[in-house]
């Protein structure tokens, strides 16, 4: 019997694009400046985007190609960057500009396919599987997208093309800027296996030295290594990186990039060393204000509170505590934070403090308990009212009295006016 209309052939391979803006913060700042009449393109000189150079909050967030030649690295202090290049131009970051540029790029990409995953502020995955009738020539499509973004928005991107997200992401990281690269299965050996193992996605600061100790220095060596040894040393992560080294990855392009939020936190590095408990308490309170507001905004409650401390010798330690019941109340989080701090602080000078809440659950149902503070409802109503005022009139419209004339910000941690869509480090 003839089976008509039934596709009996092999499943077609996916076609995935990874779009990555070249030096995003720098390019976006440059484009914006040129549109407003600036004659110097900061992409063409030794320039960096960095925090306020007048205060101590200054690290390099993005660098130009010329700045890279001076061995300036992303994350280093502006002070040391200036020592490497005295004529370095430093421009402050503008986060609302970056969000706007990212949205403008996304709006263009949406015209090509509805299946888009925004992986970060400057990276997107696009799925063009089964669209051969619309886009016959994949390479031409990639060049059209790349050139259109450059022409209309004024900045360049790299595009990686592959049959899965991992390989597409690796491909876009090859030679920059303004290039299209492919990384299909038959190209893995030539294009990917020769690279240093640290270039592989998900091989970071912790994994790389351990791999070097096993005498694995390239991605190819990792791909051909005994997976059982990797599993013993790295557990499930070993399985993951072996698969990645072999180009094996099959997660879907998730529109909306929806992953369950697991935790949220804020931390701040102070412009001075904290040496007394009351100042530390104030900083922790200001962090809890921000975390509390974000927690309530995300419609979640938390059951685990943790704090992070970095002292002036740059060594870090932390402590966490599980709460008796889930909460989104700032005061409760603050009380727990203070008690964790008292338990763990050794009395030394501190540089960084961080507060984080996790083990989140929806706030649709709030479990009351006989151990609750009898003013719980009042506190929740107060939190809600304060949030509304801050949303309407700004974060500084309502603040705790102790912050007046203290020199400290009443809410610290976090950047940007908009709560940006959740980003995950997993594909």
Binding footprint of other proteins on the chain (CB under 8 A): 28, 31-32, 34-39, 97, 100-105, 152-155
CB of 38 to other proteins, least distance (A): 8
Task: Please report the sign of the dihedral spanned by the C-alpha atoms of residue 314, residue 89, residue 266, residue 393.
Answer: positive
User: In whole angstroms, what is the distance from residue 81 CA to residue 391 CA?
Assistant: 37
Nearer to other proteins, 101 or 161 (CB): 101
- Residue given tokens 């059209």 in the structure block: 144
Residues 6+ apart with CB under 8 A from 227: 238, 239, 242
Catalytic site includes residue 152: no
Minimum CB separation from other proteins for residue 147, in Å?
15
Residues whose CB is less than 8 angstroms from the CB of residue 6 and which lie 6 or more positions away in sequence, other chains included: none
Q: Report, in Å, the least distance between residue 104 CB and other proteins.
A: 3
127-156 as b/e, with b when 16 or more CB fall inside 10 Å? Answer: bbbeeeeeeeebeebbeebbeebeeebbbb
| Residue 394, number of CB atoms within 10 A of its CB | 10
Closest approach of other proteins to the CB of residue 91, in Å? 14
CA 376 – CA 381 distance, rounded (Å): 9
- With beta carbons less than 8 A apart as the criterion, state whether 42 and 89 touch: yes
| List of long-range contacts for 55-61, beta carbons under 8 Å, 24+ apart | 55/271, 56/271, 57/269, 57/271, 58/90, 61/25, 61/93
Of 30 and 288, the one with the shorter C-beta distance to other proteins is 30
Instruction: List the catalytic residue out of 76, 123, 249, 422.
Output: 123
Nearer to other proteins, 37 or 407 (CB): 37
- When the beta carbons of 38 and 226 are compared against other proteins, the nearer one is 38
Q: Which is nearer to other proteins, 39 or 315 (CB)?
A: 39
Q: And the tokens for 370?
A: 């006989």
**C-alpha to C-alpha distance for 318 and 48, rounded to whole angstroms:** 32
Q: Give the dihedral sign, CA 166/170/173/175.
A: negative
* Residue with Cβ nearer other proteins (97 or 115): 97
**Using the 8-state DSSP alphabet, how is residue 412 labeled?**
-
Query: Least Å distance between CB 103 and other proteins?
Result: 6
CB of 87 to other proteins, least distance (A): 23
Closest CA to 102 of 142, 181, 155, 47: 155
> Catalytic positions, please?
123
């Amino acid at each position: 019997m003839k089976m008509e209309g039934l596709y009996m052939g092999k499943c077609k391979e996916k076609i995935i694009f990874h779009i990555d803006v070249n030096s995003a913060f720098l390019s976006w700042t440059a484009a914006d400046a040129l549109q407003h009449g600036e004659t110097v393109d900061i992409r063409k000189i030794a320039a960096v985007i960095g925090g306020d150079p007048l205060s101590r909050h200054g690290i390099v967030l993005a660098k130009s190609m010329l700045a890279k030649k001076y061995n300036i690295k992303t994350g280093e202090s502006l002070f040391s960057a200036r020592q490497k290049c005295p004529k370095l131009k430093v421009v402050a970051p503008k986060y609302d500009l970056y969000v706007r540029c990212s949205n403008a790029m996304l709006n263009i990409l949406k015209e090509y396919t509805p299946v888009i995953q925004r992986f970060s502020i400057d990276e997107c995955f696009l799925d063009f599987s089964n669209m051969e009738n619309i886009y016959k020539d994949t390479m031409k499509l990639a060049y059209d997208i790349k050139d259109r973004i450059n022409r209309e928005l004024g900045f360049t991107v790299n595009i990686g093309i592959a049959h899965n997200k991992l390989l597409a992401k690796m491909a876009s990281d090859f030679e920059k800027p303004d290039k299209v690269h492919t990384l299909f299965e038959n190209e893995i050996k030539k294009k990917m296996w020769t690279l240093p193992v640290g270039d592989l996605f998900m091989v970071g600061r912790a994994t790389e030295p351990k791999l070097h100790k096993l005498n694995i220095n390239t991605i190819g060596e990792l791909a051909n290594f005994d997976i059982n040894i990797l599993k013993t040393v790295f557990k499930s992560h070993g399985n993951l990186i072996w698969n990645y080294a072999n180009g094996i990855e099959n997660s879907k392009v998730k529109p909306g990039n929806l992953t369950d939020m697991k935790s949220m936190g804020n931390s701040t590095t102070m412009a001075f060393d904290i040496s007394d408990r009351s100042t530390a308490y104030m900083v922790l309170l200001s962090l809890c204000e921000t975390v509390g507001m974000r927690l309530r905004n995300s419609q979640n409650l938390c059951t685990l509170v943790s704090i992070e401390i970095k002292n002036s010798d740059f060594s870090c330690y932390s402590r966490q505590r599980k709460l008796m019941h889930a909460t989104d109340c700032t005061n409760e989080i603050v009380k727990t934070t203070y008690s964790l701090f008292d338990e763990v602080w050794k009395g030394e000078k501190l540089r960084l403090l961080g507060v984080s809440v996790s083990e989140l659950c929806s706030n649709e149902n709030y479990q009351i308990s006989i151990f609750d503070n009898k003013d719980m409802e009042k506190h929740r109503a107060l939190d809600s009212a304060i949030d509304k005022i801050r949303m309407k009139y700004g974060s500084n419209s309502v603040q705790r009295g102790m912050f007046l004339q203290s020199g400290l910000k009443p809410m610290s941690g976090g950047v940007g006016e908009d709560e940006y869509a959740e980003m995950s480090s997993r594909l």
